Amino acid sequence: MKKDIISLVKLPDLLISKVYLKLFQEKNYLSIFLFHGLFRNKEESLLNLVDPQPWITVEQFHQFVTYYLDNGYKFVSPDDIVHGLKEENRYAMITFDDGYFNNRYALPILQKYDIPAVFFISTNHVLHKKCFWWDVIYRERKKEGKSTNEILNEQYLLKTKTHEEIEKHILDSFGETAFRSRGDIDRPFSPSELNEFLKDKHVFLGNHTCDHAILTKYASNEIKSQILDAQNAIHDITGITPIAISYPDGKYSDEIIKISKELGMKLGITVDYRKNKLPIDCQVKGCMRLGRFDLSGSNNIINQCELFRSDILVYAWVWNFLTKRYTS
């Protein structure tokens, strides 16, 4: 229902954005973009090994990058944001959530255009070679002949639970082999692969908790453990300590922000649909509530990019109102 409402608002918003960009000078902001996995081609999406909705192809990722470069954007890293961005420029930051092995397909594009990206890692998936639960649900329910809407409803219901409850549900439903990967498409990085990946100067790592835990479901000590364990694991694997966190499912609160900052985080990335005003002062809470847009592989990439560039975003207001990721 929510997505139906947003879709209705999005079409006129897209038309407005096209008119806006022709008539007005775009304001200078930092725009952050969310990606998950990358398909090498459309055929991989038809294998039903992962939930394809938040994924795009390598070619679509290339279109996104060249579009923003052609329109005068400078791609930045977490370090660039913390050190300060000049107000006379427009900026973009690329983020990948979760830690899929196929994120490495982005590297040739990052190298070609000499641009950075930050990859937020859910560390227990890396350490234990464990598939992500939403992909398991999608893969197994598709085998049973369930519709996409039925699968989405089950995923939404499971998001109301802790990761322990979700994993028990999956093991009870599909057995002990459910979390094993079916190939390179659905698996996370291994520790050695992640360490090798980080050696490239264009790659930055971030914290995505150790279990992809939706932190608003947890007590203070559990929130701290989820973040700190991920910090320690990334440091043990790579020797670096992240300064940025992407809140799983975009859910966050003042308590989560406070704990994140106490554990050394300087940037907190949400999925609130909005641009980030300049200047960004990382000494205040604003740096822990950065807005972010996600792109859909099932829709025209250039149209989505034009929509995100507009300074009039009715659909974004509707999305943020309906989804409400912040808990006071």
The mean pLDDT of the chain is: 93
CA distance 60 to 305: 11
Buried b (16+ CB within 10 A) or exposed e, 242-260: bbbbbbbbbbbbebbbebb
Last residue of a domain, one of 180, 199, 214: 180
Lowest mean pLDDT among 49-53, 194-198, 252-256, 321-325: 321-325
Last residue of a domain, one of 180, 215, 245: 180
The answer to whether residues 162 and 32 belong to one domain is no
Instruction: Examine the pLDDT at 7 and tell me if it is beyond 90.
Output: no
The answer to whether residues 260 and 297 belong to one domain is yes
The answer to whether residues 161 and 248 belong to one domain is no
The answer to whether residues 26 and 106 belong to one domain is yes
CA distance 298 to 310: 21
The answer to whether residues 214 and 296 belong to one domain is yes
Instruction: Examine the pLDDT at 138 and tell me if it is beyond 80.
Output: yes
Q: Is 205 helix (H, G, I), strand (E, B) or coil?
A: strand
Tell me, what's the pLDDT at 9?
A: 56
Tell me, what's the pLDDT at 218?
A: 97
The answer to whether residues 198 and 304 belong to one domain is yes
The answer to whether residues 179 and 130 touch, using CB atoms and an 8 Å cutoff, is: yes
Region 92-118: mean pLDDT is 98
The answer to whether residues 188 and 282 belong to one domain is yes
What global pTM score does this model have? 0.94
The answer to whether residues 23 and 168 belong to one domain is no
Q: Across 157-248, where does the E strand assignment appear?
A: 203-207, 244-246
Tell me, what's the pLDDT at 11?
A: 67
What confidence tier does 281 reach under pLDDT thresholds 50, 70, 90?
Answer: confident
**Pair of tokens at residue 21:** 């960009």
The answer to whether residues 35 and 167 belong to one domain is no
**pLDDT tens sequence across 218-251:** 999 999 999 999 999 999 999 999 999 999 999 9
The answer to whether residues 214 and 104 belong to one domain is yes
Amino acid at 188: P
What confidence tier does 8 reach under pLDDT thresholds 50, 70, 90?
Answer: low
What confidence tier does 322 reach under pLDDT thresholds 50, 70, 90?
Answer: confident
CATH number at residue 253: 3.20.20.370
The answer to whether residues 101 and 221 belong to one domain is yes
The answer to whether residues 257 and 288 touch, using CB atoms and an 8 Å cutoff, is: yes
CA distance 237 to 251: 27
**pLDDT tens sequence across 249-275:** 999 999 999 999 999 999 999 999 999
> Higher-confidence residue: 30 or 312?
30
Last residue of a domain, one of 149, 164, 180: 180
Torsion of CA 72, 57, 318, 266, to 10 degrees: -60
**pLDDT tens sequence across 146-160:** 999 999 999 999 999
Query: What DSSP string runs through 254-283?
Result: HHHHHHHHHTT--EEE------EESS--TT
- Identify the domain containing residue 119 by its residue range: 2-131+183-327
Give the CA distances from residue 83 to residues 79, 89, 111, 282, 300, in Å, rounded to whole numbers and listed in that order: 6, 15, 23, 8, 34
Work out how many domains the chain is built from and give that number.
2
Residue percentage of the chain with pLDDT more than 90: 83
The answer to whether residues 146 and 194 touch, using CB atoms and an 8 Å cutoff, is: no
The answer to whether residues 114 and 169 belong to one domain is no
